[in-house]
Amino acid sequence: MSPCLSSRALMRVVAGGGRPEQRHHAGTCARCLARRRAIDAAVDRATTVLLGTEPPPAWRPRLRRYWLPASATVAVFVVLLVVGEVRLWRAVTPPATPPSDVAAFLADVSATLFSLDPDGPGAAAADDGVDGAADETSACAADPLGLTCARGDDAGGLAGDDMSALDASANGEETQ
C-alpha cells in the first residue's frame, strides 16, 4: 500500500488541517509535495480569476435558486387544492341515480306535459264519456294543480246530455 496521501488528505493539508503525520509526509515526500504544489497552483489560479475578472451575470443561478422552490411550493399547493376540492365535491354531490319513486313521478310529469300523441291519456279521457269522467275524478285527485282536471271537466261536460243534443242538431241540419 502506498504511503502517499490521497488528494482529499492533501487538500486538508493545504487548508491547514490534517493529522501531524500527514502534514509531515506532505512536506517530505517528493511526489506528495509536487501534488500539493499542483493543488496550490490550481487554487491560486482560481484566486487570480476571481480577482481579475468580472463575475458573469448572476441572474440565472439566482433565478434557479429562488424560483425552483417557489414553483415547487405553488405546484404542491395547487395539487392539494385540487385534491381537496375533488374530495369536497364527492362528499356533497347526491347520488347520480334518483330513487325509483322520484323517477316514476318525473316520468309521469314529462309524459303529461310533453305528450304529442292525440290518442294519449288526456284524449282517451275526453272520448270515453262516463268512464272518462270516472277517470277524471281519479286524475283530479292525483293532480292537485288542476292541470289535467281542467281539460277533463270540459270534456266531461260534453260527455253527457249535451253530447246527444249536439248530435241531434247536427242531424237536423243534414235533413234540411
Q: From the CB of 30, what's the least distance to other proteins, in Å?
A: 19
Cell digits for 84?
A: 381537496
Q: Does 56 engage in binding with other proteins (CB under 8 A)? A: yes
Q: Please, what sign has the CA dihedral across residues 152, 157, 161, 167?
A: negative
Distance CA 165, CA 152 (A): 20
Residues 22-51 that bind other proteins (CB under 8 A): 38-39, 42-43, 45-51
- Cell representation of residue 128: 270515453
**Between residues 50 and 113, which has the closer beta carbon with respect to other proteins?**
50
Cβ at position 43, least distance to other proteins in Å: 6
Phi, psi dihedrals of residue 172, rounded to the nearest 5°: -60, -45
**Cell 443561478 appears where?**
61
Among 17, 27, 98, 157, binds other proteins (CB under 8 A): 17
User: Nearest-5° angle of CA 131, CA 132, CA 133?
Assistant: 90
Contact with other proteins (CB under 8 A) among 2, 8, 170, 173: 8
Interface with other proteins (CB under 8 A): 8, 11-12, 14-17, 38-39, 42-43, 45-59, 61-63, 66
